[in-house]
Amino acid sequence: MATETLPRKRDLLREYLSYLRVEKGLAANSVESYKRDLSQLQVWAEKNALEFGRLTRTDLRRWIAHLSREGLAPTSVSRAVSAARGFYRFLMLDGHIRIQPAEDLDTPQRMAYLPQFLTEENIDRLLNAPDTRTAEGLRDRAMFELMYATGMRVSETISIEVGNLDLDAGLLVCYGKGSKQRRIPMGKSALEWLTKYKGERAHAETQLCRAFIAAGCGFAVSTGTIGSQ
């Protein structure tokens, strides 16, 4: 009695990867990336007793939620969803499925990463970096101390004019929205270095410059100058 041969189950993932490699001409590393993402989807489907080639839109949404819970970065989730979208588009064109379940799937938005803050050790290293034996080093130390004491940005610091500083009172006078005046107190260390820089500044050509933090020869410091330090 002849044994009936059961039809061999199609390896849909292998067919798709072959399609990408042969028909689309994708590079080996790109095909490997698709394989990695889709293999993970296949494993997830099997663990949830679902047929990999016939997942629904609801199934894929559950998979996306699973990826997010696993701590995958939003960019990585978006890449995996893109791989799934291409795979199911291929299956629909091949006639294996009639509806594209991955079309217009929502993916997590990129996170707004919190800024990194300097440690106390990093701040000390920054403050002590300039060579205060030189005029430029003294200027930079005064500028860094001022920024640390007031929380001002580089662009705000270099725009301060001579008349904005009251070193005797230990105050910085600046203007916000609507020309509203603010008086910001400065710490002892900032005052010490600003006073030293003021004395050096008085003997240089920078005294002709209205900006307190000057580059020399009567010119104000620019953000580009600071960025190149």
Q: In the chain, what are the domain boundaries? A: 12-93, 120-227
Side-chain half-sphere CA neighbours of 144 within 13 A = 20
**Mean pLDDT of all residues in 132-138:** 87
Structure tokens at 83: 């791989």
The one-letter amino acid code at 138 reads L
Residues in the chain: 229
Lowest mean pLDDT among 26-35, 124-133, 157-166, 189-198: 157-166
Structure tokens at 168: 């005797």
Most confident of 49-53, 159-163, 203-207: 49-53
**Mean pLDDT of all residues in 84-111:** 82
Q: How many CB atoms lie within 10 A of CB 38?
A: 20
- Identify the H or E element spanning 161: none
| pLDDT of 86 over the 80 cut | yes
Q: How many CB atoms lie within 10 A of CB 75?
A: 12
**Mean pLDDT of all residues in 18-24:** 90
The one-letter amino acid code at 35 reads K
Class at the top of the CATH hierarchy for domain 120-227: mainly alpha
pLDDT class of 166 with cuts at 50, 70, 90: confident
| pLDDT of 66 over the 70 cut | yes
For 193-224, how does the pLDDT look when each residue is reduced to its tens digit (9 = 90+)? 888 888 877 666 555 555 666 554 443 444 44
Q: Are 158 and 223 in contact (CB under 8 A)?
A: yes
| pLDDT of 122 over the 60 cut | yes
The CATH architecture one would assign to domain 12-93 is: Orthogonal Bundle (1.10)
Nearest of 154, 157, 170 to residue 212 by alpha carbon: 157
Widest CA span of the chain, in angstroms?
Answer: 111
d(CA 12, CA 56): 16
pLDDT of residue 41: 94
C-alpha radius of gyration, the chain, whole number: 32
Per the listing, tokens 């900006």 go with: 211
- Identify the H or E element spanning 215: strand 214-216
d(CA 63, CA 81): 9
Q: What are phi and psi of 13, to 5 degrees?
A: -65, -45
